[in-house]
Structure 1
Amino acid sequence: MLEVHQFPCLSDNYGYLLHDPASEETVCIDTPDADEYLRQAGRKGWQITQVWNTHWHPDHAGGNEAIKAATGCRITAPAGDAAKIAGADRLVKQGDTVSIGDRKGTVIDVGGHTLGHIAYHLPGAAMAFVGDSLFALGCGRMFEGTAEQFWASLGRLKALPPETMLYCAHEYTEANLKFALHADPGNADLAAYARDIARWREAGLPTVPAKLERELKTNPFLRADDPSMQARWAPAGHPHDAIATFSALRSAKDTF
C-alpha cells in the first residue's frame, strides 16, 4: 500500500509525500516549501528519491533545487512548463508514465491554469495529484490557457474512475463553497457537502483529498455540461455550450 503524508505549508498549500514501503522510495508532489518537506520526511524516516512537479508556479516548484541538493533526488516536470522549472531531470506530457517502486502512474494533461500543467494518476491506488487544476468545489484560475483548453482538461479528470481521490494543492474549499452555493442553488448534494465541510473545518480537519464521485455532483466547474447549469450560466446565444458555460462560471468566480 502506498502511503500519503499530507501536511500544511506556506499560507494555504498542502504538501504531499508519497511513500512506497516496499521500495522505500518517497516522492515529493511539488515543492512549495523545501525546508518543510525535508523536515516532514525526516520525521517520518523517509528518504526523498523523486519530485513530481505539476506546474511551474513558485509555490509548486520553488523548492526543487534545495531538495535536490539535500537528497540527490530525481525531478520529473511537465514538458509544457519546462522553461520555468529548475532542476528537471525528466520532462513528461500526456500519456507518459511515472513510477514509485513497482507502482505505475499516468501523466494527464490538465493545462489551463498554466499551459503545461499536468496531473499524476495512480489507478492502482485510486488517487490523483492534481495541483491547481482542480480543487474541492473549484478549479484553478485560468492564468495562461483558454476556456476550451481548460474544459478539455477537466474532461480528462471527469473521466477518471469515480472512486478516485483528488489530492488538491490548497485548502480553498470554504471559499469555493460560497461560490458553488451561489452558482448552483438548490443542489441537495451540495447542501450535504456544505454540512460536512463545516464539520470538518470546525474540527480543524482538512477538506482534501476530495472524492471525484462527489465532485461530479457538486463542483460547478465540472458541471458546465449539465443542462441545469447551462440554463443558469450559458451566455446569450450559447444555450447548450459547455465551454461557454465554463468560461462564464470561471469569470464569475474571478470577481466573486
Structure 2
Amino acid sequence: MLEVVRIYTSSPLRNFSYLVHQSDTQETLCIDPFESSQISHALSAKGWDLQYILNTHEHHDHISGNEGLIREFGAEVLAHPNAMSRIPGATRSLQEKERLLSNLDSSSYLEIFYTPGHTFAHLCLLQMEKEIPHAVFTGDTVFNSGVGNCKNGGDPETLYNTIRERFETLPGSVRLYPGHDYFKNNLRFSLHIDPANQAAKTALSRVESLKENEEFWTTSFSEERTFSPFFLAFHPEEDLVRGIKKSIGNESIPSDPKSLFLALRSLRDKW
C-alpha cells in the first residue's frame, strides 16, 4: 500500500501538500508543494528522496514550492497537458488513466483523471490498492463539504459535470484528500443553507473539537454525501431545496441537480 503524508502549510489559504511513497520501488511523489523547505524537512524525517512533483493545476498556491524542490532533488514535474506552459519546471504531461508509483506487482498505484471546472488544466489522482479505489487527491475540485470555485479560469457547468461523472459515482469508502482545509467554513455554509441537516451539525462539532491546524479529519465520500450540499443536490430533500431557493431569492428556479448545484456554487461565491 502507498504511504501518504499530509502536510498542512499554515498558508493564508490553508493549503495541503502531500507526499506519496511507494515502498516497493522507494519512489516518492509530492502533490502541490507550497513551501519547498517544509517538504524537504518532511522528506528528511522519513528518509525519502523525491523523484516526482505533480501539480493538480496551475494556480500559484499549488506550484510555489516547485523551484526549490527541483533545485534540491532534481525531481521531474508532472502536470495536465493544458498546464505545461504555466507551471515552473513542468517537463511531462500526463494522460488520463496513466499510472504513477506502481508497485512491483502493479496492485498499488496512483491513476490520473482529468477534472476540468476549477480550471481547464486540472487533474486529480485516484489511489488504487489491489484494483480497488482507496483514496483520491482532489486539488481544488472537491473539498470537505464543498467544491472549488470557478473564478480564475474555470466554469461552473463544467465543474458540475466533473463532479457528477467523476465523484458522485465513486464508492463511498474512498477517502478524500483535498487541496485546502476549508472544512469548518464549508460546514457553516452547509448549515446556513440547510439548518436542519443533523449530519452537518454533528460534523461541525467534530471538526471544532480537533486541535486547530494540527488535527484533520480524513473523511470518506459516504460521509461527505451526508453533509456536503453539493453532493446532496444530486438527491435533494425538501429542506435543502427550500434553503437554496430562499437563499438565492428565487422560488422559481428548477429543483433538478444541475440547477441546485449551480445555485449553490453562486451562493458560496458570495458567502
Structures share fold, TM-score greater than 0.5: yes
Deviates further, 196-205 or 10-19: 196-205
1:249 corresponds in structure 2 to 264
Identify the match of residue 131 of structure 1 among 115, 139, 145: 139
Q: Is 1:170 the equivalent of 2:172?
A: no
Q: Distance in 1 between matches of 2:34 and 2:102?
A: 21
Counterpart check, 1:206 vs 2:208 = no
On the 8 A contact 1:76/1:88 being kept in 2, the answer is yes
Q: Secondary structure at the match of 2:210?
A: helix
Offset, 1:244: 2.0
Query: Which residue identity lines up with residue 149 of structure 1 in the other structure?
Result: T
With normalisation by structure 1, the TM-score equals 0.91
Between the aligned partners of 1:115 and 1:148, the Cα distance in structure 2 is 12
Measure the CA separation in 1 of the matches of 2:19 and 2:219: 17
CA deviation after TM superposition for structure 1 residue 128, in Å: 0.8
CA distance in 2, matches of 1:196, 1:71: 39
Distance 2:49 2:212 in 1: 34
**Gap regions ≥5 residues in structure 1:** none
Letter in 1 for 2:41: R
Pair 1:7–1:104, CA change in 2 (3 A): closer
CA drift at 1:230: 3.8
Residue in structure 2 matched with residue 99 of structure 1 by the alignment: 101
Counterpart for residue 185 of structure 1: 195
Moved more, 82-91 or 101-110: 101-110
Looking at structure 1, the residues matched to 116 and 22 of structure 2 have their Cα atoms a distance apart, in angstroms, of 28
Q: Separation in 2 of the partners of 1:232 and 1:225?
A: 15
The number of residue pairs the alignment matches comes to 255
Unaligned runs of 5+ in 2: none
| Pick aligned residue for 2:244 from 229, 233, 239 | 233
Between 146-155 and 232-241, the greater mean CA deviation after superposition: 232-241
Out of 197-206 and 131-140, give the one that drifted further: 197-206
| Cα gap change, 1:240 to 1:215, in 2 (>3 Å) | same
Amino acid of the structure 1 residue aligned with 2:256 = D
Instruction: Calculate the TM-score normalised by the size of structure 2.
Output: 0.86
Q: How does 1:62-101 map to 2 (within 5 A)?
A: 62-101=64-103
**1:197 corresponding residue in structure 2:** 207
Q: Does 1:18 align with 2:20?
A: yes
Match among 39, 42, 45 for residue 43 of structure 1: 45
Asked if 1:157 corresponds to 2:159, the answer is no
Q: 1:126 to 1:70 in 2, by over 3 A?
A: same
Contact 2:22–2:101 (Cα < 8 Å) also in 1: no
String of CA shifts for 1:149-168, please: whole Å, max 9, x gaps: 10111121121121111111
How far the C-alpha of 1:46 sits from its partner, in A, is 0.6
CA contact (8 A) 2:10 2:213 kept: no
**Secondary structure in structure 2 of the residue aligned to 1:123:** strand
Shift of 1:63: 1.8
- Superposed CA RMSD in Å reads 2.0
Q: CA deviation at 1:28?
A: 0.3
Identity of aligned residues (%): 29
